[in-house]
Chain A
Amino acid sequence: MSSLRPGSGSAFPSVIPRNQQIAMRHGGGGRAMRMLIEEVFMRGASDLPVDGVGLSAMDDGAAIRIGDQFLIVTTDSHVIHPLFFPGGDIGRLSIAGTVNDLSMMGATRLLGLTCGVILEEGLSFDVLERVQASMQATCREVGVPIVTGDTKVMGKGELDALVINTTGFALASRVVRDNGLRVGDRVIVTGTVGDHGLAVMATRNKLQLEGKLESDVAPLFDLVQRVLAVGGDAIVAMKDPTRGGVASALHEMAGKAGVGVLVSEEAVPVSEAARAASELLGIDPLHVANEGKALIGVRPDRAQAVLAAIREHPLGRHAAIIGTAIAEPKGKLVLDTGFGRRLLAEPEGEPLPRIC
């Protein structure tokens, strides 16, 4: 069980000076958001007594022991602009995002989702119906029902269009944490990185790109079942690289496990269109949000078998081993560019707000 204390493991000072206000970066999934949670939400909060995963672990969700199983719970609020983007929409995102967090905790049986929506006065029924249809279609794809919900309306201008919160419940017999990497373990990414964030950015900036740049938003539950079946106990860590991208998620995994990770930049799969967009925008794909990818830590002797299994899955065709856990420097990522090595800095936050 990791015991992250406010500011621990960081050479940086607090990002929340006195009398300051919340800035967009505090929701960006990077260092600023982590500090916000540590310094505000975790202060004085009681945690699970024993044998579970609670808030202080800052994992993808919670695990509460019930008999010989664990109840996995996670919650996520979705704010994205625009509501409809290449490859997906806020409806699909709101289901996939929560299902993926459950999956990353090692869930093997999905029980149900809740759905709370806050609507802006003036939102058209047509938009709402399209979003609802997309949510239902994604639920069917995964095989999980929405079991309860809540609806609120706020005045025009008090929020932008639509916010969706989903909470997910699932069962697991073995919880997979994000802190299990040991020296020598391999890190697999299940496909091309940066597609979601770059697709949304390209849409907002009206970039004309050759090739198809689409969000990867997809539920990973089925893919993860295959990973767990083939890898078993050799699957030691999982995390979905959403806001802040692979760089942010891997930093968390390395920091919590007390290892470094050597990442091969040449091994990281990036689609042609995403690469073009990232060069144009000057943004590293490793810093950009994904919504249908997982980082999987696996013991070295099972890495190839797990990789092969992932590649057989339609969502995992471009999977690759991108990194190896190393003893030093602890909590840091070393990027081998092919020309040399540098540190892969932990992003302050997602380069763009309202991305998921």
Chain B
Amino acid sequence: MNTSQLKFRDPALGRALGEKLTTVVNQIGRDPVSVMHVCGSHEQAIARFGLRSAFPRALDVVMGPGCPVCITDVPEVDEGVALALQGVRVATYGDMVRVPGTVKSLADARAEGARIEVVYGIDQAIELARQTTEEIVFFATGFETTAVATAAALLAGVPKNFSVLSAHKYIPPVMEIVTEMPGTRIEGFLAAGHAAVITGSGVFEAFVKSHGVPVVVAGFEPLDILAALVKLVELVRDRTPRVENMFPRAVTREGNRVAQEQLWKVFSPTGGRWRGIAHVPNGNLRLKEEWAAFDARRRFKIDVARLWDSAPPKLLGQCLCGEIMSGSKGPKDCPLFGKDCVPENPVGACMVSTEGTCRIWHQYGGHLDLRGIA
């Protein structure tokens, strides 16, 4: 099939799927039926195409901990800031620079004279290291998608003055945590298609079996998301929890074996906190023992305690980023959203990253319910 002929943005098909969605949700007969997606790109597509206004009122589609920048924990940011203030050149993704730590962000460190390099990926950071004899630390964030890139780069060989401060996270375990949270309303998950390209849809089978919650792998065009949601609420309606792959043009059950091998050659899963959510067993990806020479945590003595002398910014106490990422609250519940917290002057991480819930909602006009407009 010539994929250029495929039309993933056909509004007529979209409307038909929207009607189907309403029918199935009505058949369930509960209000609300709550499902969660765990990906900033899904939220981008939902917001960009105005899908939420076409969802039935009884369906609540919540964005969970799907923004890697947002769930990077405060102490992890502190480590990056402390390293930079110790005089090490820290290279990282642009989104990370303004994410607040306990008292300071990397941007604050830069204002104090620290050298922060914004890069598009690890390759660029390695290139920086090749051009100098100074120590370059790549502050590596992101889920299994970017973790694979970090692993592949290390396996391919990096210069001696290069090391990695890994804040990589692994998504499957956090779905268990969210499902087990007291008072959780989540009845099903949309899984991120691009991560599943690597892990395979099979990675969710154990979770579905142990927790009885369906998972549907979804792509990123509006029709992908609508079709996956229809499938998900059908599984909820029929009480038949299982894994369904609604992104078969890219995702297989096994996933990318080569990438998985590379990932687990370099990283081992360890427990750790995700910002605002909880301790997630096996949710953090840390460099294995044999990569110690390239692990910034082993290479440097990182002095984070010196950051804690001054008080954190006052507004940070009111930030609901954690509750928003665990799906228990939304941007509309936050008193700072769009007022004291805006993209040009963000308070919390969710307003910093282009994959953050608050940033996306702000970009697409806030949280007005448009379902009533004639």
Q: Are B50 and A345 neighbours in the complex by a CB distance under 8 Å?
A: no
Q: Are A13 and B53 neighbours in the complex by a CB distance under 8 Å?
A: no
| Any A CB within 8 A of the CB of B80 | no
Say yes or no: A335-B338 contact (C-beta < 8 A), given A341-B370, A343-B366, A343-B368.
no
Say yes or no: A332-B365 contact (C-beta < 8 A), given A339-B50, A340-B54, A348-B344.
yes
| Any A CB within 8 A of the CB of B340 | yes
Say yes or no: A343-B339 contact (C-beta < 8 A), given A15-B344, A335-B50, A338-B11.
no
Docked complex Cα distance between A332 and B373 (Å): 12
- Complex partner residue of B370 from A13, A266, A334, A345, CB under 8 angstroms: A334
| Any B CB within 8 A of the CB of A125 | no
Residue of A nearest to B363 (CB): A345
Report B369 CB to chain A, min CB distance, Å: 10
Q: Which residues of B contact A262 (CB under 8 A)?
A: 373
Q: Are A343 and B340 neighbours in the complex by a CB distance under 8 Å?
A: no
Q: Are A343 and B338 neighbours in the complex by a CB distance under 8 Å?
A: no
Q: Which residues of A contact B340 (CB under 8 A)?
A: 13
| Any B CB within 8 A of the CB of A50 | no
Docked complex Cα distance between A25 and B222 (Å): 32
Q: Which residues of B contact A334 (CB under 8 A)?
A: 370, 373
- Complex partner residue of A342 from B53, B342, B344, CB under 8 angstroms: B53
* 0/1 interface trace, chain A 330-356, chain B, CB 8 Å (1 if under): 001111111111111100100000000
- Complex partner residue of A11 from B15, B52, B226, B338, CB under 8 angstroms: B338
| Any B CB within 8 A of the CB of A320 | no
Q: Are A339 and B11 neighbours in the complex by a CB distance under 8 Å?
A: yes
Docked complex Cα distance between A118 and B17 (Å): 59
Interface centre among B9, B222, B339, B365 (most CB of A within 10 A): B365
Docked complex Cα distance between A262 and B54 (Å): 16
- When A and B form their complex, what is the total count of cross-chain residue pairs whose Cβ atoms lie within 8 Å? 79
Residue of B nearest to A266 (CB): B11
Residue of B nearest to A17 (CB): B345
Residue of B nearest to A25 (CB): B344
Report B115 CB to chain A, min CB distance, Å: 23
Docked complex Cα distance between A6 and B374 (Å): 32
Q: Which residues of B contact A326 (CB under 8 A)?
A: 373-374
Size of B's binding interface in residues, CB under 8 A: 31
Residue of A nearest to B362 (CB): A345
Docked complex Cα distance between A262 and B222 (Å): 21
| Any B CB within 8 A of the CB of A329 | yes
| Any A CB within 8 A of the CB of B14 | yes
* 0/1 interface trace, chain A 1-22, chain B, CB 8 Å (1 if under): 0000000000111010000000
Docked complex Cα distance between A342 and B370 (Å): 7
| Any B CB within 8 A of the CB of A328 | yes
Q: Are B373 and A340 neighbours in the complex by a CB distance under 8 Å?
A: no
* 0/1 interface trace, chain B 315-345, chain A, CB 8 Å (1 if under): 0000000000000000000000011101110
Q: Are B373 and A341 neighbours in the complex by a CB distance under 8 Å?
A: yes
- Complex partner residue of B342 from A12, A266, A333, CB under 8 angstroms: A12
Report B100 CB to chain A, min CB distance, Å: 18
Docked complex Cα distance between A263 and B352 (Å): 28
Report B332 CB to chain A, min CB distance, Å: 13
Q: Are B365 and A345 neighbours in the complex by a CB distance under 8 Å?
A: yes
* 0/1 interface trace, chain A 250-272, chain B, CB 8 Å (1 if under): 00000000000010001000000
Docked complex Cα distance between A185 and B229 (Å): 37
Q: Are B373 and A342 neighbours in the complex by a CB distance under 8 Å?
A: no
Say yes or no: A339-B14 contact (C-beta < 8 A), given A334-B373, A348-B344.
yes
- Complex partner residue of B53 from A25, A332, A340, A348, CB under 8 angstroms: A340
Q: Which residues of A contact B222 (CB under 8 A)?
A: 337, 339
Q: Which residues of A contact B308 (CB under 8 A)?
A: none
* 0/1 interface trace, chain B 170-200, chain A, CB 8 Å (1 if under): 0000000000000000000000000000000
Docked complex Cα distance between A133 and B47 (Å): 47
Q: Are A339 and B344 neighbours in the complex by a CB distance under 8 Å?
A: no
Could you tell me which residues of chain B, from 133 to 168, have a CB within 8 Å of some CB in chain A? none
Report B22 CB to chain A, min CB distance, Å: 13
Q: Which residues of B contact A342 (CB under 8 A)?
A: 47-50, 52-53, 364-365, 370
| Any A CB within 8 A of the CB of B302 | no
| Any A CB within 8 A of the CB of B58 | no
Q: Which residues of B contact A15 (CB under 8 A)?
A: 344
Residue of A nearest to B222 (CB): A339
- Complex partner residue of A340 from B51, B343, B366, B368, CB under 8 angstroms: B51
Cross-chain pairs A/B with CB under 8 angstroms, 12 sampled: A11-B338, A12-B342, A13-B340, A328-B373, A329-B373, A333-B365, A337-B11, A341-B50, A341-B373, A342-B49, A342-B52, A345-B363
The 10 closest A-B pairs by CB, nearest first: A343-B365, A338-B11, A340-B50, A340-B54, A342-B50, A340-B53, A339-B14, A341-B53, A341-B370, A345-B365
* Chain A positions near chain B (C-beta within 8 angstroms): 11-13, 15, 25, 262, 266, 326, 328-329, 332-345, 348
* Chain B positions near chain A (C-beta within 8 angstroms): 9, 11, 14-15, 18, 47-55, 222, 226, 338-340, 342-344, 362-366, 368, 370, 373-374
